[in-house]
Amino acid sequence: MVNMSEVSHQRIKTNGIWMHIAEQGTGPLVLLLHGFPEIWYSWRHQIGYLAKHGYHVVAPDMRGYGDTDSPLSPSSYSLLHLVGDLIDLLDHFGQQQAFVVGHDYGAIVAWHLSLFRPDRVKALVALSAPYFEPSSSIRSIESFRQGFGEGCYVCQFQEPGRAERSFARYDYLTVMKKFLLYNKTDYLVAPPGMELIDYLETPAKLAPWITEEDLQVYAEKFEESGFTGALNYFRTLESYWELMGPWRGKRISVPAKFIVGDKDIGYDALGTGEYVKGDVFKSLVPNLEVVILDGHHFIQQEKPQEVSHEILSFISKFSTE
């Protein structure tokens, strides 16, 4: 049973917004960065575990999520903004460096924090989303459209208001179930003429790793915040290739561990499994360990003990340096 009573909460000013953070423990700083569509609560198993092993654990609601501010303009959700939020967070705690752990889009932010400011990252653990080098020849949205069609979730999320309107046909708890309990390895692509949220199934029963109460925590927060902030992350992708020009060809130098479930979305269908085991990934992240677990996308919740152990065993190597 996860004990949330020892987790404290506060809102701090960071990079021009108010950010909500959950924190526990004392010691070296560990940032836990959630992905879509989640909040700090997705790290409920890891927060207490790492705190009990001598770390100051901070799990923010990322920009646009939960009790953190949600700027209106999609352009306010670039990776430069998201990394900037974390630099200010480190400064708030007076820490030159932190261990950074990210899942899904949180892993993408963690990779880019390590790329932009390796001086601020002691070591990195990324879950589910590997690092890909930005290409100057491939345009983001068009490549998704060509590869998967208009039903691809990235394409459907582009138009402001479209996904919000389709999500609104369901109650918030059902939306959470459709996303968090998705257990297929196929990419998130709806058939022609269908909205993604309509295509996703509502499971008849819950997975053993999550409770109705857990899902309700997410549902209540998204009912308060709406989904626009979370969806705006995907609406900045078109500008990503232009913004990333200065870092093309630069490797990620910090020590890194990548954890993925062998039944994750796209693990086989997109060739993620082959990529993370291959030479290209290791050439981009030379100081890399790869761990493949038996599990799906929300691996830190599905396999909390294994993931917590993998995080601790890795960061503890660098904790005395």
CB-CB neighbours of 188 under 10 Å: 19
Q: Could you list the active site residues?
A: 104, 297
